Structure 1
């Protein structure tokens, strides 16, 4: 596995569990990893600090997947997705609305990935090199863990350009008969356009 050696003293943010490493903190990148590939973050004296996704273009050069020395693989992401689903179930969000944020990037341990649920449809945004690298795996796991069949991608945020990524919009899994989807929020009904609505279609990040 490739690694990033940090400048002396620049490990302090990681020791405080901050999940980002900026380009100015990097002393050396080993083996020229692919965009989005997993790398080890090492202190100046080569102590393991974290495992992260690598972005060769962004000012945020690495985003931490885990502070543990553990594999970052399909089962790693399955555990993260299950944890996010369990959290929403404990909060009983489905009792308030049939639309809610299922995955919220760093908050759920998957930097760059936003997933909103609108009834039987998931809308996915991939905003970083790391989430893009694992997107197909993440999409498969989301369907396996939710039991749903459809994912619509809205990776159209300007921040993707900072990661060297192109805009991607369209059906990622399954099919849709309509892009206008009815949701209920605390007894109020809204028609949400998944294709052209703001963000993923609605302001679900304002609630959860």
Structure 2
């Protein structure tokens, strides 16, 4: 939990600066007060709130995720891999909640930071993991191309990346992870329809939470 809290303290400013519409550059100033961020590394590496925004939620969330992973998985070689992968995962959730976008580079960091070490630790699981990623990516792409755009291309890429990572834990983890994500978003969509507040729903946070449950519940 200490690792999660410490790592999460650096995320508010990074997440705030990256929460911009597709094609827009990262924020150069605070989205609330307009205060410019410092140039260079110091404008990104900062603990606490992004500026005048609340910065407590990312450290608390990452601490809870880290604690859950450590408690359930125990001292296995895969634990540090999943803890590190949780950092770009939380950033993706923050950005998707803020502007309905999942940056390709962060999805790539998540896939590589988790996939390469897991492949080295369990080379016999590479083929099932790649198969899971390919199947889920293909299915999600087909859904995204249907009229109505039930999924965005960012959701397709993140879903494939998470299925790939979950594939190293086995097919039950893939099924639980993705099934949980669809149940969560389905429940939210139903509630919004019932309350007549229908609007686009970010799928990234549900995918990431589902992946965490897939790792710990199977």
- Structure with a larger share of its residues in strand: 1
Pairwise same-fold verdict (TM > 0.5): no
TM-score, normalisation: structure 1: 0.32
Structure with more relative contact order (C-alpha pairs < 8 Å, separation 6 or more): 2
TM-score, normalisation: structure 2: 0.31
